[in-house]
Amino acid sequence: MRSDNNITYFARTNHRNTRTPFGIRRADRRSHMYVIGKTGTGKSTLLKTLALQDIEHGEGLALFDPHGDLAEEVVSLVPASRRGDLIYLNVPDRSFVWHFNPFAGVPEEKHALAVAGMVEVFKKLWPDEWGPRLEHLLRNVVFTLLAAGGNLGDVPRLLSEKDFRSAVVRRVTNGMVREFWEKEFAGYSPAFRAVVTAPLQNKLGAFLTDPLLHSILTGERSSFDLRQVLDDGKILVVNLAKGKLGEGPAALLGALLVSHLSLAALARADSPQEERRDFYLYLDEFHTFATLTLATMLSELRKYRLNLILAHQYLGQLEPEIRDAVFVSCLCRTSRSTYGS
């Protein structure tokens, strides 16, 4: 295909019986791209074609793959000239130790957005247990650990250990959050407290009993800075391989990482627009990571040069509110039926 850094090619046309490369301009990619098509229609090939051109052109990108094959293929094709920019998170590989703490490094002015994002992640994962009581508790838990410092492994202790809870809450400056713990939560009877906290304790505990997830999610700080990944144009490839990791753990880890990558992009508000480097976020099986918070941020993310490529199989995989937000914000759309080389 032709080489033009301002155009990313992904097809050929046969207009007037002449096969001509066809692509999308860089400026248009800032309006996000939405790819839909059933299994076997070439979505992964399309994503690989786009991503490899971004890599060749020196662009930064993140690719999230819940199956693993696409991630492995893209990593194998990263040229030597860009190997130094590659961060490969092969999640099922237990020999590689890394950490991601969703409570660390979030600016105070972004705490409300971070809380909304994390609450939406757990709401998506636990629809059968969800209700106003669990949402109220989780919102205060997340606010507390963001403000005081902590990790997901601290959640059970925050709910069950009085001395630990008191020490953590003393570091919280938000008056409403402190009032929740010091008045509302403290006033629960032991029996009622057990009822209120059991869903969160049980569900989160199920994740954290997995040694791999426990190792990743209970570190004090993350092994990488997502803002730096964006600004330095790194290549972040996340192999979630849900067939090895499990569907729930893959969805949890992927959705938390995507949520925090979006927060890192919004933090670019502290930089002049001309200094915001384009960064491409590829989400294969987008519905796995889709939350209403992420969908409603799509138009805002465009300003901070986080350009999304969203791919999945059929519309029914998206909740109506998320689907509507995607249709409004993703101006570049392609429906897959066949895809050739």
Residue 330 has pLDDT above 90, yes or no: no
Q: Which residue has the higher pLDDT, 7 or 166?
A: 166
Q: pLDDT confidence of 1, banded at 50, 70, 90?
A: very low
Task: Say what the pLDDT of residue 10 is.
Answer: 67
Cα separation values, 206 from 68, 209, 215, 220, 249, Å? 23, 6, 14, 21, 10
Return the pLDDT at 173: 92
| Largest separation between any pair of C-alpha atoms in the chain | 78
Once rounded to an integer, what is the mean pLDDT over residues 332-341?
Answer: 59
DSSP state of 180: I
Please give the CATH number for the structural domain made up of 7-98+225-335: 3.40.50.300
Residue-level pLDDT at 4: 64
- For the stretch 180-219, pLDDT in tens is 999 999 999 999 999 999 999 999 999 999 999 999 999 9
pLDDT (tens digit, 9 = 90+) per residue, 78-126?
999 999 999 999 999 988 889 999 999 898 999 999 999 999 999 999 9
The predicted model scores a pTM of 0.90
State the pLDDT at residue 118. 95
- Given a cut of 50, is residue 257 above it in pLDDT? yes
pLDDT reading at 67 higher than 90: yes
The predicted pLDDT at position 21 comes to 74
pLDDT band at 272 (very low <50, low <70, confident <90, very high): very high
Residue range 128-152: mean pLDDT, rounded? 95
What local confidence, expressed as pLDDT, does residue 341 receive? 41
Nearest to 224 by CA among 63, 84, 27, 87: 87
Strand segments, DSSP code E, in the chain are 7-13, 20-25, 33-36, 60-65, 86-90, 235-239, 279-284, 306-312, 332-335
Mean pLDDT of 21-35: 81
Residue 301 is predicted with a pLDDT of 93
CA 18 and chain centroid, separation: 41
Average pLDDT over residues 52-60: 96
Tell me the average pLDDT across 271-275. 92
> Of all residues in the chain, what percent carry a pLDDT higher than 90?
71
